[in-house]
Amino acid sequence: MSGPKRLSRSARRHASAQAVSRAAGRAFVEQSRPTAGLVTRSGRHLEVEPLFQKGTSLLVAREGVKPHLGDLVLYTYSHGRRVKILKVIGRKGDVQDVLEALLLDSVPQRGFAPRALAEAAEVAQRDSVCDEGRVDLRSLFTFTIDPETARDFDDALSFEKAAGGAVRVYVHIADVSYFVHEGSVIDQEAFSRATSVYVPTGVEPMLPVQLSSGVCSLMPGVDRKTVTVEMVVDDDGCPQSVDFYRSLVRNDARLEYEQVQDIFEGCVHPIPELAAALALGRSLAAALRRRRAERGKIDIMSLEPDFHWDDRGRLIRAHVAQDLESHLFIEDFMVLTNEQVAVFLERQRTPTVYRVHDLPDPFHLDHLLDVLASLDLPTPPFDPVVATPADIRRTMVDVAGWVERITPPGRGKAALMNQVLRAQSRAVYQTKNIGHFGLASSAYCHFTSPIRRYPDLLVHRGLLGELGLGPKPTTYSLTEWAEHCSRMEREAAKVELVADDIALAHLLTARLEREGKDRVFAGEILGLVRSGAFVLFDGLYQGFLAARDLPGDYYELNDMETALVGRRSGGAYRLADLVTVRVKNVDEARGKIDVELAGEHKDEG
């Protein structure tokens, strides 16, 4: 799920140069980590302006590395209004250099401390240890399905027929807790990060590569230690039994989403073992999907980009990610597994970290209905004062389903789906189970990605400790740990969205050079602020259309924040309106795009 990728820029403060200088100095004194910046020139002097943090340009000090105009650098506060250059990262026109600058600026630590790397090398040797009690499942046909660029494989699947038309499903998850013991150096680093951070050019992993892309990763053709969730599921998608145990598997086929989609569409004929496994899993996944839809699962359209690279590692194009059946296939079994683990831990009253998603606030939902009504769109009756949880779910399911299925004439679907998202609560980690509204699950946790998410590692330790298959973990700090993981997840999501914007900005610049700077794009108004509108154009890019650039009138934001309305004419630019725009400016290094109207827009409100 994704919402608008940018928050509005705050208005510039009207302050004296002296006040700005004092504020900048205080900010740099308080700053605990180096900052990424761009080297510019002011008269005869080189300055550095921060790329991703707020602040003003400061002079380059004499000490430190000597940069050149246009360099991307890592710097720290020196004295007065001067900064010391620690490192030259690269050039602003190179997307890989810019994304490296973003990671250096944003993540708690780029790379791992020597102690963590040494410990990772040591614990990786456990991969060859023969463990008593570990169930050998290497005879099962096992496969993974991941993106083309994936390097860390958390999960694998196996399927067998069971009695009465049921299917025996094996979900194998990397046994990360076997290698990463609580309180170890690696564990402390993993907790600090809480999540891997993914950008189009790579990843800053939660675990050292010896583990994340090495002995923990379920690579093809090698034996790997896993935790298996074995379930017998009937043809209606109802679990009949579930078992958890440590296991040893071998990945027989490393598949990509597009390959599996081609198999589903009959374009490719796989080997018999894979064909049989996918046939069993495909019908069962469809049944699981139907059950969740009947329970009231909320489906939200995603606007995330998929990036493509050439053989030399250069970014060449992007497209809007599609929800292929192969994506849903994996999601169906991962959700089922997460639910079964959560149900078991709750039943056993085992302290753990749940993934929860609260009901929408009824007044936020009521505001969503007001927004849709202000755009002359149909809405169901709803009273937030007396609404029951069932009323809230039914109304949200109806509205989300209607917006997903139907694009109203003259309106953009993405903007409306964004409004549905804004009415939702935020999914977080916590120790009290309140269910997952979006998935319509009574109990849910994150268990299936322990290589890249710390909460999954906590759940693994709790499950294995409860089963007597591992040490009992510490639980007295789980509440604080859950809050930390939620916070770090939000921070990582911000970095990843900025990274996508940067990559798209570089692609757009290259495209305009090929097709001409006067290229016109179809777009829709995705969001509005007092200073202008955010426009999604060509399905991928987001640009800012300044209110001062709107022709013929002075435009003001209405009280509902759904339209910029002309003071004299009453004409309006409304949320979800379709517009035609031309790119005015691209700041590739920050991922910012400014647009202007390229055609007439008449809406008398």
The reply to whether 26 and 120 lie within a common domain is no
The answer for residues whose C-beta is within 8 angstroms of residue 101's C-beta and 6 or more apart is 36, 51, 52, 72, 74, 89, 90
The reply to whether 84 and 123 lie within a common domain is no
Please report which residue ranges of 165-265 form alpha helices under DSSP H.
Answer: 176-179, 185-193, 209-210, 257-264
pLDDT at 6: 31
Examine the fold and report which residue of 404, 422, 440 is the final residue of a domain before the chain moves on. 422
The reply to whether 33 and 87 lie within a common domain is yes
**Distance (Å, whole) CA 566 – CA 560:** 15
Examine the fold and report which residue of 386, 404, 422 is the final residue of a domain before the chain moves on. 422
Examine the fold and report which residue of 381, 407, 422 is the final residue of a domain before the chain moves on. 422
Contact by Cβ (8 Å): 242, 340? yes
Domain annotation covers residue 428 = no
Contact by Cβ (8 Å): 542, 535? yes
Neighbour count for residue 432 (Cβ, 10 Å): 8
Please report which residue ranges of 362-412 form alpha helices under DSSP H.
Answer: 362-374, 389-405
Contact by Cβ (8 Å): 31, 77? yes
The reply to whether 280 and 161 lie within a common domain is yes
Q: Are strands 155-161 and 520-529 parallel, antiparallel or unpaired?
A: unpaired
Rg (CA), the chain: 26
Domain annotation covers residue 187 = yes
pLDDT at 359: 93
The reply to whether 49 and 149 lie within a common domain is no
Contact by Cβ (8 Å): 59, 82? yes
Domain annotation covers residue 503 = no
Contact by Cβ (8 Å): 403, 576? no
pLDDT at 570: 87
Q: Which residue do the tokens 């549905």 mark?
A: 420
pLDDT at 601: 60
pLDDT at 405: 81
**Distance (Å, whole) CA 155 – CA 432:** 26
Contact by Cβ (8 Å): 521, 535? no
**Distance (Å, whole) CA 587 – CA 92:** 10
The reply to whether 152 and 225 lie within a common domain is yes
The reply to whether 135 and 260 lie within a common domain is yes
pTM: 0.90
Neighbour count for residue 238 (Cβ, 10 Å): 12
**Distance (Å, whole) CA 370 – CA 562:** 10
**Distance (Å, whole) CA 467 – CA 57:** 57
pLDDT at 73: 95
pLDDT at 16: 31
Domain annotation covers residue 200 = yes
Q: Dig out the tokens for 520 from the structure.
A: 């016109």
- Report the domain count for the chain: 4
pLDDT digits (tens, 9 = 90+) for 332-350: 999 999 999 999 999 999 9
The reply to whether 227 and 298 lie within a common domain is yes
pLDDT at 600: 65
Residue stretches of the chain with pLDDT short of 70: 1-32, 600-605
Domain annotation covers residue 580 = yes
Q: What is the CATH number of the domain that holds 53?
A: 2.40.50.140
How long is the chain? Answer: 605
The DSSP element (H or E) to which 10 belongs, if any, is none
**Distance (Å, whole) CA 421 – CA 440:** 16
The reply to whether 172 and 232 lie within a common domain is yes
Q: Residue 565: beta bridge partners? A: 556, 572
Neighbour count for residue 310 (Cβ, 10 Å): 9
The reply to whether 300 and 415 lie within a common domain is no
The reply to whether 82 and 123 lie within a common domain is no
pLDDT at 321: 83
Domain that holds residue 577: 517-597
CA distances from 540 to 308, 313, 516 (A): 14, 21, 18
Domain annotation covers residue 447 = no
Domain annotation covers residue 107 = no
Domain annotation covers residue 99 = no
DSSP 562: S
Distance, first Cα to last Cα, the chain: 31
The reply to whether 182 and 273 lie within a common domain is yes
Please report which residue ranges of 61-94 form alpha helices under DSSP H.
Answer: none
pLDDT at 202: 86
**Distance (Å, whole) CA 551 – CA 36:** 38
**Distance (Å, whole) CA 482 – CA 352:** 9
